[in-house]
Chains A and B, each alone.
Chain A
Amino acid sequence: MGTIWKKAKYQLMLAPIIAYFCMFRSYPIVKSFWLSFTRWTIVGRPQFIGFANYRQLLTADPLLWISLYHNVYYTLVVLSTTIPVSIVIATCLNVVTKKRLRGTISALFYFPYIVPLVVVGVIWMDLYHPSLGLINALLKRVYLPPQPWLSSSRQAMTAISITGIWRMLGFNTIIYLAALQGIPENLYEAAVLDGASRWKCFFHITISLLRPITLFLLIINTIWAFRLFTEIYVMTANSGGPARSTYTLAFYIWKKGFTYYQMGYAAAISIVLLFIVVLVGIFQFRLGMQRWEY
């Protein structure tokens, strides 16, 4: 007994943790695959039906593609807005020399990111309210027409994307700020000595050096965007938006699995989500790594 302990001491100490992972991660992941090949509604036993779920999902289910489209739309809107804007804000912040002031202003920008998603949903749901919300009140003040926002099938997803921008702007800014502060001053001095103008400095030095961070942020933001659920649940009162205009993949899994209890089908959706996330991740990574040559 003593020799087993001596030889495998650390493996044994980690054994409970390994068992934990097997039980709460590996087993459910494997079982998810298995479940996706069955038809099951919690009562009774699951029936094995082969690829039928996938066939229906991929060929006869528009809601899957609509949900995917909403996820992609959200990702594009948030990324295309926050990445450039946060670079600009971070650059401006980098100019501020007083540490405390810089810290305070960046804390203001970062604040929305730490707000619990449920609270984000509640605040923005109220902001977007057609008659009682602040946004329409402000629009009326400047004589612009008030919008239906979350109650319109055309605007709802955009409204939620704007919430996403509000939330992620600070996060991206802080990351860029940290990166910018790592760029040594003498790089700029050398460039200026070589005769480069301020704008050229910015574009060629700063942007290139920020490329790895940008790749990181693109990947992180995308992964998070494909998890979009809480805001949808709260802001559309668990309905998925007018005419399903804010359905996302995660919300679809929730609906199918925990409202309609079609567990097998929901499992299939979740596997498709897994593939999508992995593919997108690989794609982004490849794309980013390709151009990183000095």
Chain B
Amino acid sequence: MGILSIRRKRVLTTALLYVCLIGGGVTVAFPLLWMFLGSFQPVAQVIQVQPFILPQSFTFENYTLAIERLSMYRLIVNSSIVSAAWVAINLFVCSFAGHIFSKYRFIGKEIIFVFMISGFIVPFYSYIIPLFLLVRDLGWINTYYGIFGPWCVDAFGIFLMRQFMHGIPKEMVESAKIDGASEGRVFFQIVLPLSKPALGVLGIFTFMWSWNSLFWPLIVITKSEMFTLPVGIATFVSNITYFPQLGLTFATGTVMLLPIVIVYLLLHQTFTRSVALTGLK
């Protein structure tokens, strides 16, 4: 150890550290790369399972097969509609409620807030059955409403927006009111534009939650033409027996993963910061 100078030792340690870190990161991300690359290979080759040989051919046949056999186009459309509606309603209602909780004092404010939070604490498996029965009685089975209806307003979003809006100075709201602005104008023209970061974070969370959710849509949707993407994939996968049809599952998996990755790459900073902020979903 005396041969290496202190400086050399430090450089070596740092280099080793980097190698381990990068190696670890790549190893962890590798299964996703496997799926992505495999989705473009003809089924026969995916079967051959050569982990370290570069793919020799490139084909879209898995994707066309998925569109034909699994009506993947329909799945994507359903998922997109549900997610869009869910996120839009969620952002609007949660920011509205968050604004009220943040800026105004009124009787019963605490009680109402605690009431909402308590609904959030209970694990949803514990009330999923009566919720299903309720949705059934409302006639929402096999409809888009049924999928996002019970979930598009949630205490988490309200809580998040409230916390963020605490940072908007009360004076701004009050001076606008003194100038004669109505509640609506205050909300839409002052508070909302200032809340863009929080809306972005909430939007991402809600989008991910809506895009990925399996359990509830699985219960509520029985007709295959109304399936969302996760339901379609899970149903397909649970119906095949021994031969796993890797290419097809890879293609569907990649399609489902793609929007998430795009959102992630575009908003990576917001992601990690928001996780550090809340970490609840």
Interface on A for B, CB 8 Å cutoff?
A: 8-11, 13-14, 17-18, 20-21, 23-29, 31-32, 35, 89, 92-93, 95-96, 103, 105-112, 114-119, 121-127, 129, 132-134, 137-138, 141, 166, 169-171, 174-175, 178, 216, 220, 223, 226-227, 229-230, 233-234, 237-238, 249-250, 253-254, 257-258, 263, 266-267, 270-271, 273-274, 277
Q: Cβ of B26: which chain A residues have Cβ within 8 Å of it?
A: 108
Q: Are A121 and B234 in contact (CB under 8 A)?
A: yes
Q: Are B126 and A270 in contact (CB under 8 A)?
A: yes
CB-nearest residue of chain A to B47: A132
Q: How far is the CB of A218 from chain B (nearest CB, A)?
A: 12
How far apart are the CA atoms of A229 and B124 in the complex, in Å? 12
B203 within 8 A of A: no
Given A21-B119, A132-B244, A237-B239, do A28 and B130 touch, yes or no (CB 8 Å)?
A: yes
Dominant secondary structure of chain A at its interface with chain B: helix
Given A32-B130, A175-B279, do A115 and B272 touch, yes or no (CB 8 Å)?
A: no
Q: Are A174 and B275 in contact (CB under 8 A)?
A: yes
How far apart are the CA atoms of A270 and B126 in the complex, in Å? 4
B112 within 8 A of A: yes
Q: Cβ of B112: which chain A residues have Cβ within 8 Å of it?
A: 11, 14, 18
Contact pick for B256, options A26, A119, A138, A170, CB 8 Å = A119
CB-nearest residue of chain B to A137: B49
Question: What number of B residues sit within 8 Å (CB to CB) of A?
Answer: 84
Q: How far is the CB of B42 from chain A (nearest CB, A)?
A: 14
Q: How far is the CB of B186 from chain A (nearest CB, A)?
A: 13
Q: How far is the CB of B201 from chain A (nearest CB, A)?
A: 14
Dominant secondary structure of chain B at its interface with chain A: helix
Q: How far is the CB of B203 from chain A (nearest CB, A)?
A: 15
- A-B contacts, 21 of them at CB < 8 A, read A11-B106, A24-B150, A25-B127, A26-B115, A35-B129, A92-B17, A108-B29, A109-B24, A111-B28, A114-B260, A116-B260, A117-B212, A121-B234, A126-B249, A132-B47, A132-B244, A134-B31, A137-B50, A138-B51, A175-B279, A230-B234
Q: Are B130 and A125 in contact (CB under 8 A)?
A: no
